[in-house]
């Protein structure tokens, strides 16, 4: 009886996920192999639902990617095995990344690494860590200067969640708005009841918005990425209770994009990769603008047929051309510096 009930539960949950996909998930026809992406996203959602099975497969993806990059760039690649959700919310993962990076930078000779050619690279939330670490390490005389940064569709701000890419791609694989928010709740220990305040920006005090608008306002996004988008009024009426609960979203450690100009100007040369069909696309566009305005050299690569997590799809039946193009861009950039 128990086994039968368990089988029914598993089947019921999987069917529910399938129905939800049929009703909500939108795979843009511009993406390569849209049917394959839809099926893969369904399987990904099943894995995320049964979370216990997910972490080992994700670790294997990173191992394969890092091994490939080490071989193709003839470099030493340090991959940080930081503590992850759901057991370890912020700041555990960031603290682990800072500690590992500090150790590595202080012991470059032992790893056979040229101190003048160190590059920090991060993907998605890993891109957040790289951006924060670079800002944290500025002015540290005990550490070598970082030569360059590579940010692959990073999370760089939680101030404006009504950017055009958030509106365009809220139901696009592999990072839907619901998944993005659920990860945000867990990462920052935010109750989901504050969803509307986060989305509308009602938690942002007017004086802080006046300061940050020039950094994260939708008007900073190039017109070609904003066309055919009905931009809602932002931010919504200020909610002090929401501010007290989620104000850490405004901190530089969470939203490194809003750091002061003096900090941004000291950052190293950058390769920024954005995916056109990604909820996070505009974070990269805004960061590109900030870096360039402060005189930081930027190489920008936007994949018109790219989607979130696309870098991992480079092998065998999972292969998509966008995965290989990102890898080739990283290799070319790394070899050029």
Q: How many CA atoms lie within 13 A of 27 on its CB side?
A: 16
Q: Are 274 and 290 in contact (CB under 8 A)?
A: no
Q: Rounded to an integer, what distance in angstroms lies between the CA atom of residue 85 and that of residue 183? A: 8
- Phi then psi for residue 285, to 5 deg, are -65, -40
Whether 116 is a known active-site residue: answer no
Q: Which of 278, 282, 283, 309 is catalytic?
A: 278
Whether 74 is a known active-site residue: answer no
Q: Which of 124, 165, 218, 274 is catalytic?
A: 124
Whether 20 is a known active-site residue: answer no
CA-based nearest residue to 278, from 325, 254, 311? 311
Q: Are 165 and 226 in contact (CB under 8 A)?
A: no
Checking 182-189 for CB contacts under 8 A at 24+ apart, the result is: 183/85, 183/125, 184/158, 186/85, 186/86, 186/89, 187/85, 187/89, 187/90, 187/125, 188/89, 188/90, 188/246, 188/248, 188/249, 188/254, 189/89, 189/90
Q: Which of 21, 41, 90, 308 is catalytic?
A: 308
- Catalytic residue numbers read 124, 278, 308
């Amino acid at each position: 009886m128990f086994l039968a009930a368990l089988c029914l539960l598993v089947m019921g949950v999987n069917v529910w996920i399938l129905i939800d996909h049929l009703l909500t998930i939108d795979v843009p026809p511009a993406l390569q192999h849209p049917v394959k992406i839809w099926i893969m996203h369904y399987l990904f959602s099943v894995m995320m639902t049964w979370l216990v099975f997910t972490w080992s497969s994700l670790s294997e993806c990173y191992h394969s990617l890092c091994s490939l990059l080490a071989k193709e760039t003839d470099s030493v690649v340090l991959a940080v095995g930081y503590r992850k959700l759901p057991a370890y919310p912020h700041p555990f993962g960031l603290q682990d990344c800072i500690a590992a990076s500090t150790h590595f930078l202080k012991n470059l000779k032992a790893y056979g690494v040229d101190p003048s050619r160190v590059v920090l690279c991060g993907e998605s939330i890993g891109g957040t860590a790289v951006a924060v670490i670079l800002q944290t390490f500025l002015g540290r005389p005990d550490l070598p200067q970082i030569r360059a940064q590579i940010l692959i569709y990073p999370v760089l701000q939680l101030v404006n969640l009504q950017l055009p890419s958030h509106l365009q791609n809220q139901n696009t694989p592999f990072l839907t708005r619901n998944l993005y928010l659920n990860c945000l709740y867990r990462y920052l220990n935010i109750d989901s009841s504050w969803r509307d305040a986060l989305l509308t920006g009602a938690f942002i005090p007017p004086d802080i918005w006046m300061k940050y608008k020039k950094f994260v306002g939708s008007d900073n996004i190039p017109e070609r990425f904003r066309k055919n988008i009905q931009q809602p009024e932002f931010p919504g009426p200020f909610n002090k209770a929401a501010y007290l609960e989620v104000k850490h979203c405004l901190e530089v450690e969470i939203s490194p994009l809003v750091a002061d100009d003096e900090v941004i100007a000291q950052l190293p040369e950058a390769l920024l990769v954005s995916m056109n069909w990604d909820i996070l696309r505009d974070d990269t566009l805004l960061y590109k603008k900030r870096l360039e305005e402060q005189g930081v050299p930027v190489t920008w690569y936007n994949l018109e047929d790219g989607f979130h997590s696309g870098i991992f799809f480079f092998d065998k039946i999972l292969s998509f051309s966008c995965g290989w193009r990102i890898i080739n861009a990283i290799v070319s950039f790394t070899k050029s510096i």
